[in-house]
Amino acid sequence: MHFIEPYYNWRGYYVASEDSHSPFYEREYSEFEYSNRIYNFLIHPQWDFFGSPTLFVKILFVDYDSGFAVLEFIGEWNDAIENDIMLLKRDVIEPILSQGIDKFILIGENVLNFHSSDECYYDEWFDDVEDGWIATVNFHEHVKEEFISANLDHYFVMGGELDELEWRTFRPQQFCQKVESLVSKRIGSFN
| 146-178: pLDDT as tens digits | 999 999 999 999 999 999 999 999 999 999 999
Range of the domain at 120: 49-190
Q: Are 111 and 73 in contact (CB under 8 A)?
A: yes
Q: Is residue 44 part of a domain?
A: no
- pLDDT score recorded for residue 119: 94
Average pLDDT estimate for 79-98:
96
- Residue 62 and residue 19 in contact, taking contact as beta carbons nearer than 8 Å: yes
**85 occurs within a structural domain:** yes
Asked whether residue 4 is assigned to any structural domain, the reply reads no
CA proximity to 95, closest of 48, 44, 33: 48
Residue 30 lies in a domain: no
| pLDDT value at residue 1 | 59
Query: Per the structure, how many domains does the chain have?
Result: 1
SS3 of residue 177 by DSSP: helix
Over residues 55-72, mean pLDDT:
98
Confidence bin at 2 (pLDDT 50/70/90):
low
Is residue 36 included in any domain, yes or no? no
pTM here is 0.95
Q: CATH number of the domain that 133 lies in?
A: 3.30.750.24
Residue at 35 is within a domain: no
pLDDT of residue 30: 81
pLDDT in tens, 97-155: 999 999 999 999 999 999 999 999 999 999 999 999 999 999 999 999 999 999 999 99
In a domain, 16, yes or no: no
Residue 11 within any structural domain of the chain: no
Report d(CA 169, CA 158) in Å as an integer. 20
Percent of the chain with pLDDT over 70: 97
